[in-house]
Every structure is written in structure tokens, then in C-alpha cells.
Chain A
């Protein structure tokens, strides 16, 4: 390698030498550029940090520049030796924002982006980074996510972008769209997450950026100095939400009895006394016989006191077991460890990390483990060439509970709804535990239970297996040619960069249904092994040109990109297995086998212009065209673009005297982004599904209709924002307004079901999201020993469907409707008119006709639920009126830090199917919500809950809509950092211990309900979210 030196021979000149060292560790810095100010004379420090330069007469100033360091300007003043100490460019680094295809100074942004740094991320005790985003950025709504260890949250940015296509943002890891598993990324490896919210910042990801972009940047070495960091934590998890309040044994029997009586009395018109007697007689059959009568001093036939119509007061229960107690793990243990080594030379820096996580779930037998490693190497090979490789590999293993929905094998369903009279453990006729020969309790599989028979929620957790292992490799590599140095001549500022990124996931699943109980008992066990292989890569070539001419700075980019995704799947299933061996080999009978593969490709051409005048006026424009394999070749190319401007008002002369305003900037941007993410990768094509073999014959049924016109859904995004920093940096304020219009919306165009199709994918309809976002951050106290910062974030989004198809101004989907003029997924259901005091029937507001606008004409009250089924009303949606977070950070004596983060959401409604199911049980043997005890019991009762019934006729109605507002304490972290002097004595540069209470509590309108379950306001029988209490240690050598 040669060091190129500029040299100008002049007669009168002085030779100056010196050493450049780093302020951080005093080490010499090689390759620092040294320039004689006002000339083109350049030199560079050698490997020992020493330089030598000839300074012409009349020159007295040297300028030292180095990437990542603040530029130093030194006067010679006749000295022959000028030594210089360079300071890290910390302020500049802090304010650099990762944007599409590069970085930018924060104040130069014309768009909307929120940076979440590693410090904030590291406070959250999460195994999947998506769960850490809640409350950290305006405009972002996240779900709580399941408590299943390793699972993530869903995220949407700035409202609801589409009806049928995806609303999920694009995840970009180290500059390349990411297709790996999000739980394969160790959150501790993440330096920052940037949420790109508007067109100007995200349009260069035009293809898939319509729903916003989340840029994840992993850590890299910042200095040559070798640092070794250990982070470790250990903690315990419990369920975060309270449980639903369910009835006790006595009330359960009362409710069952009343239900049986009511069926006779009201549905079959049998006189009350006879109905009551019939119900008493039926109780035993209904509930599974005397074995399940916990009251051993009465039989089922005599348990009800005819005088009170309720369980006799002196009935004594022999046992009372709670199924939720038995399936949930108290204080599930979690610990993680991370070792990071960073450092390098002036030209080459590297960071290597190793991580291990072991987390047990709050549901017994569930767990997640991750081994992760990362190496991030970057090298300025020579003045012209820079190259880097960022490689991560991780192994994950998760044990889960594989059932979902109201399958009774889903323990979140069965244990929730199991009536309290059914014991977990097998009982004898006196109600005592029936022990096996070894004296152990035995699970009761409930062969005569009326519902959930031959099943134990606890048993299935141990008997069945759902194991997933993931092998993940991600690599990001680049090679850049070009130079910013003057000696490059006319090529100065011109760079060519090739980026290649690949994500590989091999996901292995083992599903085992046991041979003793449940649906595989008769086939002596059923084992399924499947493997899914995902391989995606992005290859791009970018040409950039970055030059300053006086007050003008220009930054140009042009490039080409190709993205390729492939997935292949292979599975086999056998029955008749050998107990204890989770492999197919010993199985005798092949029950199923399948394989398929998928492919998806995008090709893009992109360009961008950034212009800056005097750091006062910024202008940016971008254009990108994408072709996707999802659409027909005549419709697949979409053009996406953006323009943006930023006016830094404080740079103006007239602001010079306004001292209390440190920074004031006004930003405006507009642009169009695209979305092609329909569920299918082959959206436009007509297909016959080959999944219909008839015995030995190949068979296929038509599954989709062709639409060659199908094209990109477009999001036109307008953003205006005001950023201000006031009172000497004491107050930061950011205010933004956006208007996001989705057009050519990808929608399933409904067809008459009688055509054999429910519809076809088409571009129809428009929808708008408008919103306001406000961030206020105030440093209330900032003294030497005490710091107090509070941050408030508030966001609001108004969604409205503007147009749908010509034929269907509304599309009904279950309890929801998409209707022009109303928010997406507006609740559409019957309207309750209370409960009839005469007979306890639910009353509804019904109507016979609607006017042209769909408003009911002359509604009246009826108890006919058939009539109610056709008399639906519109009732709001899940979308909150205002949501966000409030947090604060306190520091004492530079050694104690305390942070508290809370989130809130005001407004919106939920239809909690779990609660509705507990108010209207479907099956005998399912239990009730405590709220059902408000039921109507006798003529004249005035209440809001109808008479008890099992599988009674009811219509979903507004009576079950619940306010979705909540307030949650998401995180409290208290840390203690050893003072630097004490740390040095121990030989460490940093030592911090901390305690974190993560996801601590949630306050809402109904115990048990998770208002953050999803974005549409429904619920399902799923793994409860968890809270974690952790203690941890950060150690830096």
C-alpha cells in the first residue's frame, strides 16, 4: 500500500511534524488526513500516528480530519512539532440517522423518522425486539404479543394502510430488507431502531415501504480501543394480565341448574315447578354424574334447595381446584448473557458478540432458547476501497403449546372454560385424590365430563409436543469504491457500492400427539416432522456522488436492486409410534407427506437527490421503480417517488437574536409508496389447487381467478412537521401532521358466492388515515448531581374508508363492516335494548327497512334474535382517540438511574369473544363469567344480563362492546453505576447493576381482557402476555 502525498515545491517552507492521538485512550491514530488550510497540500499520519508536512510560507493553520472524530484545526505559530488530540465525533454520531440507503444528519431530514437507541431498547426485557417498540415512538401501535417465549408483537405505523393487503411495516436490518426470524436477532446486538414514517424517509423502499419501515442497525466497533463487555440478567416471569373473573363451584351449579330450568320453562313452555323439577333431575346427566359432584353430602338430584332454587346452604365441597393454576407456571425463570468484544485498527474495526438466552414460559412446558453470534467487520482497505461484512448466526429452540382457537386441546380455551366442579386430579367417590400405586396424584382425563371429555389441559402440555428449532444465518456485505478526498480529482465524492445481503432460516418443527388420550390415541400417536427453508437475498449496486461547492451541498444516488425470496417446505407424518422417541423411524404407518416451494422477486431502479444550502434549506427528492413477480408482466411495474423540504428557521438572520430558541425546523414532504403484499405470492394468476388427489388419481380444483390488471396498491403520504429545541436544550418538541391516502387498494373484490368464488383480487377503493403526533421531552432538572427528564408522546389517527366497489358500498365481515365513510372494521352488530323484566329475554332494537344512507327507519324493540340478526347497527371501532406514552428518567450523583415508562390508550372498543363466551356458554360444563351473576332470575328483575342459558340463542350486540382504553406501566428500571474511580480500582471501565420490572401492570375495563391483543378489537384464546422482573449486570473492561 502506498501513502500518497501531495507535494508542492516552494522555496520558503517549513517542515512540521507531530503525533495525533485519541482523547479516549491516548492511542495514536493512523491515517488521519492533515491539510495545510487554504492549500492542496495534504499528508497523512503513519501507523504510529506520526505525520510530517511541508508548510509554505504564509500558511499557519493545519486541519486534521478523520472519520468519526471531530475535525481539529491547529495553528502552527512557528512550532516545528504540533501534536494533536482528536475527540470522538460523539455529537455528530448521535445525530446521524440511519435512513434508506445510507445515513443522514438528523437536522437535514425532510421526512419523519424516530430513532430508538440501544439504551431505551435495553431496558425492555424482551426476547424479540418487536416487543420493545411499544411506547417508544409516536405513530406506532403495537400488539401485546403472546407470552410464548420468543414470540413477537405486531406493529403498525400511522394507521391502517390496507384492508386485504398487509399492514406490516418493512423490516430492514443493516440496510437490507430482512426475511429472517425476528426472534433470531439478539436485541442486545441492536444499536438503534429507526422508524421511518413518511414518504420522504421511506420512499426509497418504495416497493414495500407503504406501511412504514423499521430500520434495525446492529452494533459495530466505533473505536480502535479494545473493549470487552458483559451483559447478563436473570429474572422471573408471570402472566401480565389479570385473569378473567369466573364463578365459583356454587354459582356454577346454580347457573347450570337455572339454564336447564329456563330451557324447559321458556323454550318448551313447561310450567315453572315442573321445569324446576326436570332441571334437578337432569343435573346429573348434564354435569357428568356423581363423580363430578363436589358436594358429597348431597346428590345432584338433591343439591338444589327447591325453596331457594339454589345449591343448598349446607352443601360442603370436597375439593376446589383451579385449572388455570395448574397450567400456569409461577415465576418462570429467564436468564440471558451477552459477551461483546470490539476494537481494531484505524482502518479495520470489528465487533464480535456472543449471546445466550434461556426463557421459560408462564405456561408450563413452554420455553425458548437462543444461542447467537455476530461478527461485524469494516475496513477502509485503502483510500479508495472500503469493505465490510456483518454476519450473524443463531440457533433458536422453542417449545410451545401448538393449539389455537376454540379447539378444546388449546389449554387457553379449555382451562379457561373448564367448570370449577371438574377436578384436575382424579378423585374417588368421597372427593379425595385417587392415588396411583406409587402414591402420586393422577390427572383426571374426564371420560364422563359432558364437554372436554377424555382430555386434560394439564396432561396435553406434557403428553403432546410442539418443538421448533430455527437455524438462522444473516449476512450483510458491501464493497465501496471511491473517495471523498481532494486527491481523487474530478472523481472526488463519487462512489460505487455493491451490497449483498442474505437471510437464511431453516425451521424444523416437530408436532407430536400422544398415544394415550385425545385424537391420536386410537392411532397410537401421531408425529409430524416438517422443515421450512427460507432463503432471501438482496443484491444492489449504488452509485453515489456527494460534493460541496461553497454553500451548496449535493448528494446524488442512483442504483439497481434485485430481491429474491424462496421458500421450500417438506413434511412427513407417521402414526403408530414408539413412546418416547420423537422420530419418524419407528412409526409403522405413513399418514401424510407433502412438499412445496414458493418464490417471490422484485427488481428495482432507484435514485435520490439531496440538496442543502447553507444548512438552512434542505431539499430531497427520490424516484424508484419496482417490478414485482406478484403481478402480471404488463402491470407489475410501479413508480414511487417523494419530495421533501426542510427549513431550519433558526439559521435565518432574523432569528439570531432569539436566544431562547436553539433550533426550529419546519419540514414538509409528500410522496407515493407501494404495497404488493397480498397473502398470495401469485396474486394475478388463475390456478387449480393440486391438493385434491382422489385416491390414486391426481386431482385439482380451481382456486383463483385471473386478473392481469392487478397492480401495486399506492399510499400517498403527506407529512408536515415542526421540530424545536428550546431554552438551551431544556425542552424538545416535535409536532407532526400526516395525511395518508391509500388508493388502488388491494381488495378482494366480492363476487356472488354462487359464481363459485367469493371474489378476486383487484385494485379498488380508497382509504385515508390522518393523524397528529406530538413528542414533548423536557429536562426538568439538570444539575451536577441530579437529572430529571420527562417525555410525553401522544398520537392520534383518524381512519376512514372513502370508497369501496361500485357494487358493494359495504363489505360485512363477521362482526365488522367496511363501509364508505366509516373507519376500517367498524363494529356492525345488533343493538341491545336491555333485558325484558317479564322473562329475562334479551331485547334488541330491530327494524324492517333502511333508508338510502343505510339508516334504520322506525326501529322498534323485539326479543326475536332472528330479527336482530338482520337488524344490524354501526358502532365505532377499535381505533383509539389518543394513545402514546409518558416516561421519565432520573439520575442521581451520576451513579443511580431510574426510568419509568407508561403507555396509555384512550377510546376505541373491544368485542371480547372470550368474555362473551363466558357470558353465554356454548356447552354444558363450560363455566361463566362472574358478571353473568347479574342475570335475570325471576319476573320483575331489572338487570342488563339475560336469564341463564347454555347454548342459548343470542346475537352479538353492543351490550358486549367494552371500552378498550387502558393505562399500562410498561417498564421501571433502577440502576446503580459504580463511580469511575472505584471502577478503575476494580480494573473495569464500567460496572452497572440494575433491576427491571417489565410489563408490570395493565389497568383496563375488564379483568382478563387484553386490549392490545390485536388492531381490530377482537380476542382469542391465546397465550397470556407476561411480565418479567429481572436483575442484571453490565460490565465493561
Chain B
């Protein structure tokens, strides 16, 4: 008996000291993520990281630590920039989303991970970082050239777009501020320990943007056709180029890019415009997101903020148009359907008159929270082309372009204005052709483009007025802010604290943007 146990003990004791699990037993990996290693070897696999970027362009929850319901990519930033101007009225604070943007109450919140400073900086730089991994595979990616170009070209355009949006948010406009501090530039993939870069000048940033967009356009010219409306193809790339050149006041390049961009789409007509602007499929949509039910942001989505059906955010903070802008439309303009001058939301129960309730953007199916997003339309390109022609002195060409659009908008419309004079304030009217083009742009692109970007590049100022003017509520008159002077820092965001915390090449005391309006 004893012998049996002694043998047993000795055998097991030897086993204990030698037993070990197989070599790979401690190798684990998640099922919700994949290693990046294999994703860039060929153009097919590389569609995964590319589509990830496109998805994030309409999705909340990845750019900030909070307040995600106002941070859902491109349409959120367009809405943010729109309510910072004079044409897109918020009737009140509602649930608070976008209200802080609307009332210029975000810059001092730069220490938080949940406000605009952090959100915009983080979102655009995440796109830059994700694009940098794609671009880095340019030389090694296998596949048909048209497939590789489709991926790499888009990578360059995304990087150009991201820096373009960054520089417009964190510095004053390009012209006249070329030597101002811009934003840090990265063109290599980030790794653990990658050092933060100092702020490049505005000029250096635009040099990078131009280099990237030209490279992207060139690659996409030889790429396969657009696989999905959310993808950046040659025409979308030209469209983004047109936006960049317009801001840089390079009129001829803006004109050419816009003309090229329009070639694969056409001007929408009434049916395309008045169904709620929630489909990516009409002929005028160049670039947009398809929102399917299980990918909807539900509350954290553009249409939740726009549509005034209850419940939602749009039914407490009504999105309305500046009444003075609305009055610029003729009675037969199809776009008058986009707003309702007789809507009950236009008057508070105290009888205070506001702007006109928007009906332009509506849910496709509210029960599923579906409705596509539109990121770029043929009409924007046409208006860009017209503005560039006008700036180049080609008034007739500009008028012809404008008439092409207006023929589909207002049968009664005529234009015989000329010249490029603009008022110091957007409300100071000169009667010029340029002003007319811009008025049509404000109407056509209301809610879609981000009005403040135009105000800034045009170097105009603006004033909001209340009951007897535009229809802004008293609480959003921003009387204390200097939005009249184009040199103002009112709309130049502060850099988030998190950047200074992790970037030893930035010094808060000299690299932070002014906390106040600076003028």
C-alpha cells in the first residue's frame, strides 16, 4: 500500500515540476478587434480601415469622453458651424446640444474631454492618424492599381480634408494670416511614444493640404468608380479641392475643381429636395452616408436635432431660418418648402416671434431613426464655380451658372447684377453679383455646409437680431461677443488641454489661442 502511494506521489511530484501548459496557452486576442498588421497588405483588406473612417464620419462616441450627442462626425460639425452664424437659428437651449456653440460658450471649456475643443481636435486628428496608416502602405500595398489608388487616394484626401477642417477651426482664415500659428502636422503613422509636433504656420498647413489633395485627386483619377456614396472618389476629391481653393482664394483652381467635381452628378429638382433631404441616392448627391437601422446614432444623430417631431432634440430647440434670408426667396421658389413661415413653433406662447421652422431635414423613418446624411451636393459645386467665375471677373459665366441652378428653383428668377462688392457685415447689402451668389448659397446650403466657414473666409462680420429682424431668441443674441470684426478670435477654438498635457513641443502660455475674442 505504502509503496503504491509513494510511487504515486513521486510520479506526480515530478509531473508537477515539469507540467506546463502549451507554449501558446498564454496568447490571447479579442474578437472585437483585429491586429493592424494584415490590414494593409492588399487593397481589398485595406478597405476595412478605410470604411472605418467613413463610418466614424457619421458616428458618435469615439471623439470625446462625453456630450456625444452633439459629436457625430461631419453633419454635427456642419450643424455646429451653421448655428454659429446668423442664418441658422436655435429657438432655445433645448437639451443643450449645440446651444453652447450657438451662444459662443465653448472656448473656455478646453480643459474638458467632452467639449468642442477636444472633440474637433480629437476627431480630425484621429482621421489624420488613421489616414496616415493607409498612406504609409502606398508603396507596399498589393492589388490592381485601380484598387490600390482607390484606397491610397482616399487616404490622401481624408488627410487633406482633416487638416483643412482643423486649420479652419483652430486658426483664423488663410488669407492675411498665413504666418499665424496653425496646427501640428503629422505625415507618418503614429506609434507608442510618437512625439507631439509644434504648431506649424497656417501657410505650412495649407501647403500640406494642397499637396495631399493634389496627390489624392491624381490617384483617384486612375481609380475604380465610387463603390458607395460614402466613399471619396475622384469627383468628391475634386469637390473637397474646390472647398480648399475657395478658402485659399485661388479662384481659378476653385473654379476648375468645382467644374470637374460636378461632372458625375447633376442639379437636383423639386422631388430631390423636398422629401426631407434624407437620401443619398438622388442625382445631385455626390457624397453622403447611408444610415441603416442598426448603425443609426438614434439621439446622437443629425435628424434628431433637425426634425421637430416629438420626442427629440429638434422639438425643444427648434432649428429655424433667419427670416430676412427667407425673404430673399421668391414666392415660387421650391425651396420655400424647406421652412414653414406659419409653423406654430415660430411664436413662443408669450407671443415672441422667432425665425421660421425648418422642414428641410426630416427623418426617413422615425421608428427606425433612419435617414441618410448628405455631405456634398452638385449644387454646392455649382455655386462655388459661380463664385469663382465672379471673383475672376467673369460675371456672365457666373450669371449663367447661377441661372442653371435657379431655373430648377424659381421659375420667376432673373439676375442681372454684377461685381464683387461685399458689405462689412453680412447684413450690409451692396447689390453685387457676388452677394447674390452668396445669398443663394446661404439658402441652398442652409444646415449643410457650416455657415461660419463662409463668413470667415469672406472676411465679413455679422450681427444677430431678434423679433423685429432675423428672429433670434434674446438668449442667443451674443451681444457681448465680437462677431463683427473678421479679425476676431470669437470663432477660433481653443486647443484642448489634453494636447498640452501630452505634447512637450507646445507651451500653453504661447501656443494657446486667445480665450476671448482678441479684438
Residues in A lying within 8 Å of B, measured CB to CB: 2, 4, 263-264, 267-269, 278, 281-282, 284-285, 289, 384, 447-448, 453-454, 481-483, 487-489, 491, 494, 496, 517-519, 521-524, 541-543, 558-560, 562, 573, 575-576, 589-593, 596-603, 627-629, 633, 636, 681-682, 685-703, 705-707, 749-760, 762, 807-808, 811-812, 814, 849, 865-867, 869-870, 922-923, 951, 953
A491-B8 Cα distance, complex, nearest whole Å: 12
B8 cross-chain contacts in A, Cβ below 8 A: 481, 496
The secondary-structure label for the interface of chain A is: mixed
In the assembled complex, B128 has its CB within 8 A of some CB on chain A = yes
Cβ-based interface call for B443 (8 A): no
Mask of B337-348 contacts with A, CB within 8 angstroms, 1/0: 000000000001
What mask results when residues 171 to 212 of chain B are scored 1 for a CB within 8 Å of chain A, else 0? 000000000000110100011111111000000000000000
Q: Is the CB of A753 within 8 A of B498?
A: yes
A285-B352, A752-B196, A755-B190 known; A596-B32 Cβ under 8 A = yes
Task: Kindly list chain A residues whose C-beta atoms are within 8 Å of the C-beta of B506.
Answer: 752
B190 CB to nearest chain A CB (Å): 4
In the complex, per-residue mask of B29-55: 1 if CB is within 8 Å of any chain A CB, else 0: 111111110010000000111111111
Task: Decide: A289 and B349 in contact? CB cutoff 8 A.
Answer: yes
Does the CB pair B183–A814 fall under 8 Å?
Answer: no
Does B499 lie within 8 Å of A688, measured CB to CB?
no
A-B contact pairs, 27 of them (CB 8 A): A4-B1, A267-B480, A268-B477, A519-B299, A541-B15, A560-B16, A562-B25, A575-B368, A600-B28, A601-B25, A629-B28, A681-B30, A687-B33, A687-B36, A688-B36, A692-B51, A692-B55, A698-B48, A699-B48, A699-B50, A700-B33, A701-B56, A701-B62, A703-B33, A752-B184, A760-B193, A866-B107
Question: In whole angstroms, what is the CA distance A269 to B28 when docked?
Answer: 64
Closest 5 CB pairs of A and B: A756-B129, A752-B196, A752-B503, A699-B51, A687-B33
Q: How far is the CB of A628 from chain B (nearest CB, A)?
A: 7
A701 and B13: CB pair below 8 A?
no
Q: Is the CB of A481 within 8 A of B9?
A: yes
Q: Which of B289-297, B394-402, B432-440 contacts A (4 or more CB under 8 A)?
A: B289-297
B446 an interface residue at 8 Å Cβ cutoff? no
Extra 8 A-B pairs, beta carbons < 8 Å, given A697-B51, A752-B506, A755-B129: A268-B477, A481-B8, A575-B367, A590-B293, A695-B228, A699-B49, A753-B122, A870-B515
Is the C-beta of B21 less than 8 angstroms from some C-beta in chain A?
yes
A564 to chain B, nearest CB (A): 9
B121 nearest CB neighbor, chain A only:
A753
Choose among A690, A807, A953 the residue that contacts B504 (Cβ–Cβ < 8 A): A807
B125-154 with Cβ < 8 A to chain A? 125-126, 128-130, 132-133
Interface residues of B in 427-484 (CB under 8 A from A): 474-475, 477, 479-480
Contact status of A867 and B54, CB under 8 A, knowing A491-B2, A688-B36, A753-B499: no
Bound together, the chains give a CA A636 to CA B26 distance in angstroms of: 9
Collect the chain A residues with CB atoms within 8 Å of residue B475's CB: 263
Please name all residues of chain A whose beta carbon is closer than 8 Å to the beta carbon of B195 when the two chains form the complex.
Answer: 752
- In the bound complex, CA of A785 to CA of B138 (Å): 90
Q: Write out the residue numbers on chain A whose beta carbons fall within 8 Å of the beta carbon of B348.
A: 285
Contact between A592 and B311, CB atoms less than 8 A apart: no
Q: Please determine whether A688 and B93 come into contact, CB atoms closer than 8 angstroms.
A: no
Q: In the bound complex, do residue B35 and residue A707 qualify as a contact, i.e. CB atoms below 8 Å apart?
A: no
Q: Which residues of A contact B228 (CB under 8 A)?
A: 694-697
- From B48, B367, B505, contact of A576 by CB (8 A): B367
Closest to A850 in B: B509
- Residues of chain B with a CB closer than 8 A to A849's CB: 509
Judge whether B230 is part of the interface by a CB distance below 8 angstroms.
yes
Residues of B within 8 A of A814 (CB): 112-113
B326: Cβ under 8 A from any A Cβ? no
A699-B52 contact given A519-B311, A754-B183, CB 8 Å threshold = yes
Interface range for B:
35 or more
B12 contacts the other chain (CB 8 A): yes
By DSSP majority rule, is chain B's interface helix, strand, loop, or mixed?
loop
B34 pairs with A521, CB closer than 8 A: no
Least Cβ–Cβ distance between A1030 and chain B, in angstroms:
41
Which residues of B are found within 8 Å of A592, using beta-carbon distances?
294
Determine whether the beta carbon of B502 is less than 8 Å from that of A752: yes
With beta carbons under 8 angstroms apart, the residue of B25, B49, B110, B477 that contacts A701 is B49
A2 to B2 alpha-carbon distance, docked (Å): 12
B108 interface residue per 8 A CB criterion: yes
- CB-based contact B35/A685 at 8 Å: yes
- A757 to B17 CA separation, bound complex (whole angstroms): 44
In Å, the complex CA distance between A72 and B118 comes to: 76
Cα A250 to Cα B105 with chains together (Å): 31
- Which residue of the partner chain, among B17, B21, B30, contacts A598 with CB atoms under 8 Å? B30
Known: A521-B311, A694-B230, A701-B126. A688 touches B21 (CB 8 A): no
Q: Which residue of A lies closest to B66 (CB)?
A: A405
Q: How far is the CA of A756 from the CA of B93 in the complex (A)?
A: 32
B501: interface (CB < 8 Å): yes
Question: Is B168's beta carbon under 8 Å from chain A?
Answer: no
Given the known interface contacts A281-B350, A697-B228, the answer about A705 and B31 at a Cβ–Cβ threshold of 8 Å is no
A530 smallest CB distance to B (angstroms): 15
A931 to chain B, nearest CB (A): 24
B108 neighbours in A (Cβ, 8 Å): 865-866, 869, 953
Q: How far is the CA of A682 from the CA of B130 in the complex (A)?
A: 21
- Residues of B close to A870: CB separation below 8 A: 508, 515
The verdict on B408 contacting chain A, using a C-beta distance below 8 Å, is no
Which residue on chain B has the smallest CB distance to residue A290?
B349
Q: How far is the CA of A764 from the CA of B316 in the complex (A)?
A: 48
Q: Are A757 and B368 in contact (CB under 8 A)?
A: no
Contact (Cβ within 8 A) B194 A751:
yes
What CA separation (Å) do A628 and B27 show in the bound complex?
A: 9
- Per the bound structure, the CA–CA distance linking A999 and B293 in Å amounts to 47
Tell me the bound Cα distance from A269 to B111 in angstroms: 29
Which of B2, B26, B31, B107 lies at the interface centre, i.e. has the most chain A CB atoms within 10 A of its CB? B26
Residues of A within 8 A of B290 (CB): 695
Question: For the complex, what is the distance from the CA of A523 to the CA of B47, rounded to whole Å?
Answer: 33
A700-B39, A752-B197, A756-B130 given; A693·B51 CB < 8 A: yes
Which of the residues A281, A448, A523, A541 comes within 8 Å of B368, measured between beta carbons?
A523
Taking a contact as CB atoms under 8 Å apart, the answer to whether B311 and A454 are in contact is: yes
Q: From known contacts A522-B367, A558-B17, A702-B49, infer whether A591 and B294 are also in contact, taking CB-CB under 8 Å.
A: yes
Residues of B within 8 A of A867 (CB): 515
Q: Which chain A residues border B498 with CB–CB below 8 Å? A: 750, 753, 758
Q: How far is the CB of B429 from chain A (nearest CB, A)?
A: 27
* Partner of A496 from B12, B477, B480 at Cβ < 8 Å: B12
Asked whether A282 lies within 8 Å of B350 as measured between CB atoms, the reply is yes
